[in-house]
A and B are shown apart, each in its own frame.
Chain A
Amino acid sequence: MTTLLPYGRRATLLEAPDDAQTLALHRAVVAAALPGVLEAVPAARTVLVTFVDEASRAAAQERLRTLVPVDGDEVAGRLVEVPTRYDGPDLDDVARLTGLSREEVVEAHTGVECTVGFVGFAPGFAYLRGVDERLHVPRRDEARTAVPPGAVALAGGLTAVYPRSSPGGWQLIGSTDLVLWDLDREEPALLRAGDRVRFVEVS
């Protein structure tokens, strides 16, 4: 049984049993093809299902409750390498918070393969799971009003690359020239849920 949380009159929030099953639950929602669904939005541990009207939402509740996550081949995601300069303004703070040296932070960040859990917050902003546990740091106390595009960041056990200039509260440890979001590309978002990512240090 999937836990349903009421979300106003035209939406329901589904809670996945754990983070790893969120995409499987999202696949189940899409596969169910319920009438009147506007969007199904996967996030960290939930799938938000929005409906065109109240009646469609009411009619779908029972089906949503009994959805079974659909396993997929996560490993089939493409592997994307992110060439990264470890020159972020928060690199020293992250070293202090984790008790590591700057070099050890870089080693830990480049030493694992991450997976795109979901894309949210802003177009092309991919939340990457699988960060080395030594690098689990909180968000900054105060958010920056403008984080530059290509900033490589850490927060709450996740890592990400800011696709464009936006406000942001994550710890900035590096930067990349890779373009994460480009409306002129056939697929504007470079990273999609399920893709694998490896950060590679460049100078």
Chain B
Amino acid sequence: MSERPAELVVHTTGLLSTVQDLGRPGLAGLGVPRSGGADRASLRLANRLLGNPEGAPVVEATLGGLEVGLTATRWCVVTGADAPVEVDGAPVGVGSPFVLRAGARLRVGSPAHGLRSYLAVRGGLAVAPVLGSASQDVLSGIAPLPLGEGTRVPLGRVDEVPVVPVDVAPVRTWSGDPVLEVDPGPRRDWVSDEAWRTLTSAVYVVSSRSDRVGVRLSGPAVERAVHAELPSEGVVPGAVQVPPSGEPVVFLADHPTTGGYPVCAVVVPASLPLLAQLVPGQGVRLRPARR
């Protein structure tokens, strides 16, 4: 046993790097968002590749720019966006576990495709949970361990983590013309049929005002058919909400627990990881899902 606990040391965070797990479901009655990794498929994959429990805490980096080191040698993996991943300048790739030696520098660069990268360490990050989760929630300001330059994050134990005999996971393919499949939402009838056709055929541009709360889409306005005020109701990740401006907001992990604008469409679960990887400035289309 070493004297000091093993730690991950953050050198730079880039635009935004946070600790994420699968969030804190079950507290919506207190107004607490579920939060957790925005691209849960990538978060789960990263943990599976290392033998961690699927929901172990990881680092979620936004648009790369993350540099970290470890004080003890550990297996690591980076999943998610198609970003250059280097250890002391040598490329190690995405979706492929590698050994990060104590003192070496891991860098996640600017992605060629996608937005969010997930760095998992074997044994997980041992961040003390708040309300049952290590996740940082940008809407609520709940941040069990916010990451900044010099932050030291304790690492979990590895003696009971099984060894996974996997060298590399299939890397996802990136289309230049991303399409999200949507089902009609609970307030589909609050927009006209013409507005629905617009919503599900036009090319929208991902706004720079998008964040972990929601992806804002700029493009043709979705005209409301009903102009009454909607009493607040619960929302889910992927809910497509139409505010008075007519520019849709698609909710992500840190969405508020309730919202007062009609939800006319819902992104299907299979498209949620892609939603979380949309880059501001990029075009995206919504298409009615086939059953």
Binding site for B on A (CB under 8 A): 5-11, 13, 19, 38-48, 50, 54, 118-125, 127, 138-139, 156, 163-164, 183, 188-189, 192-193
Task: Please report the C-alpha to C-alpha distance between residue A39 and residue B28 in the assembled complex, in whole angstroms.
Answer: 7
B232 within 8 A of A: yes
Most buried by A among B140, B234, B236: B234
Q: Which B residues lie within 8 Å of A139 (CB)?
A: 229
Starting from the known contacts A9-B266, A122-B139, A123-B140, 9 additional A-B residue pairs (CB-CB under 8 Å) come to: A7-B266, A8-B269, A9-B183, A13-B186, A13-B234, A48-B235, A120-B257, A123-B32, A189-B31
Residue of A nearest to B187 (CB): A5
- Asked whether B236 lies within 8 Å of A45 as measured between CB atoms, the reply is no
Q: Which A residues lie within 8 Å of B231 (CB)?
A: 19, 43-46, 156
Q: Chain B nearest CB: distance from A189 CB in Å?
A: 5
Contact among A8, A163, A188 for B266, CB-based, below 8 A: A8
- Asked whether B235 lies within 8 Å of A138 as measured between CB atoms, the reply is no
- Asked whether A189 lies within 8 Å of B232 as measured between CB atoms, the reply is no
Q: Chain B nearest CB: distance from A56 CB in Å?
A: 13
Task: Please report the C-alpha to C-alpha distance between residue A42 and residue B30 in the assembled complex, in whole angstroms.
Answer: 10
Q: Which B residues lie within 8 Å of A8 (CB)?
A: 183, 185, 236, 238-239, 266-269
Task: Please report the C-alpha to C-alpha distance between residue A122 and residue B33 in the assembled complex, in whole angstroms.
Answer: 8
- Asked whether A48 lies within 8 Å of B236 as measured between CB atoms, the reply is yes
B131 within 8 A of A: yes
Q: Which B residues lie within 8 Å of A45 (CB)?
A: 231, 233
Q: Chain A nearest CB: distance from B237 CB in Å?
A: 9
Residue of A nearest to B265 (CB): A8
Residue of B nearest to A138 (CB): B229
Contact among A9, A40, A121, A189 for B258, CB-based, below 8 A: A121
Q: Which A residues lie within 8 Å of B239 (CB)?
A: 7-8
Binding site for A on B (CB under 8 A): 25-26, 28-32, 34, 130-131, 139-142, 183-187, 229, 231-236, 238-239, 256-259, 263, 266-269
Q: Chain B nearest CB: distance from A40 CB in Å?
A: 8
Contact among B34, B187, B236, B257 for A121, CB-based, below 8 A: B257
Q: Chain B nearest CB: distance from A99 CB in Å?
A: 21
Report if A41-B258 is in contact (Cβ < 8 Å); known contacts: A9-B183, A13-B234, A164-B141: yes
Contact among A10, A42, A48 for B269, CB-based, below 8 A: A10
A to B CB contacts below 8 Å, 30 in the list: A5-B187, A6-B186, A7-B266, A8-B236, A8-B269, A9-B268, A10-B236, A11-B236, A39-B34, A44-B233, A45-B233, A47-B234, A48-B235, A50-B236, A119-B29, A119-B30, A119-B31, A120-B232, A122-B140, A122-B256, A123-B31, A123-B32, A123-B142, A127-B232, A138-B229, A156-B231, A164-B141, A183-B130, A183-B131, A192-B30
Contact among B31, B229, B267, B268 for A122, CB-based, below 8 A: B31
- Asked whether B139 lies within 8 Å of A183 as measured between CB atoms, the reply is no
- Asked whether B229 lies within 8 Å of A156 as measured between CB atoms, the reply is yes
Residue of B nearest to A164 (CB): B141
Most buried by B among A19, A43, A124, A164: A43
